Amino acid sequence: MFWYNEDIKRLKNDIEKLDYNPKLVFYGSSTFTLWNELTSIYSEYNPINLGFGGSTLAACTWFFDDIFKDIKNIESIVIYAGDNDLGDGRHPEEVLLFLENLLAKIEDKFGEIKCSVISIKPSIARKNLQGSIHFTNSKIKELLSKKQNHFYINIYDLLLDENGNPNHKYFEEDGLHFNNLGYQLVFRTLKLNSEIFPAKLVQEI
């Protein structure tokens, strides 16, 4: 996984430069990396965006110990990854195993904090994998239902058109990454699941 080395160095540098202790972590693939407003939107939770482009759940698990070495006392982590694993030919059962391992690492380091997983999106570019994506999401939801501090965030159904196909209006021209409308949908969905976030550090007046 040497091709991730530059991204991992960037993340570790970002962590080193922090002038606060993060309470909310976004961890995963380019869905987070390309969400430029992410940390400003959730600023009241002292967030950090640890997305790295092209990452798989396998990579997120593999690099977890290294990336999170100097992060302490977070209260919540939101994960998005898995579609790149399926795109690389991994089976749903493998994706689930990677997620189980990642959740175990998180609990081992931080205890029973809030762990949320956003469902794998049904993208136009990977329409041929839609069945596998749907099945993987169902297994992820089943896994997360076993613990009260684990949350499944379903965006899959919201991204389908009336015919059950990925809706073009939410994607960039590449058919894979979200456009602004796509990110607005993710934001609204997360807002409806406020229990996934830590207590606000900046109280509303």
State the average pLDDT over residues 123-127. 96
Higher pLDDT, 10 or 199: 10
61 closest CA partner among 136, 1, 18: 1
Does the pLDDT at position 40 exceed 50?
yes
Give pLDDT, residue 193: 97
Give whole-number Cα distances, 128 to 89, 139, 143, in Å: 12, 19, 25
Determine what percent of the chain is predicted with pLDDT higher than 90. Answer: 93
Tokens read off for 115: 């762990």
Helix axes 92-110, 57-67, angle to 10 degrees: 20
Q: What is the pLDDT of residues 71-86, one digit of tens each?
A: 999 999 999 999 999 9
Ranges assigned E (strand) in 3-113: 24-28, 47-51, 76-80
| Separation between Cα atoms, residue 53 and residue 28, nearest integer Å | 8
Q: What is the pLDDT of residue 53?
A: 85
pLDDT tier for residue 204 given thresholds of 50, 70 and 90: very low
Structure tokens at 2: 């040497």
Q: Given this model, what pLDDT does residue 205 score?
A: 37
20, with CB counted inside 10 A (0-12, 13-18, 19+), is exposed
Q: What is the pLDDT of residues 4-26, one digit of tens each?
A: 899 999 999 999 999 999 999 99
- 77 strand-pairing partners: 25, 115
202 pLDDT above the threshold of 90: no
**Burial label, 61 (beta-carbon count in 10 A; 0-12, 13-18, 19+):** buried
Percent of the chain with pLDDT over 70: 96
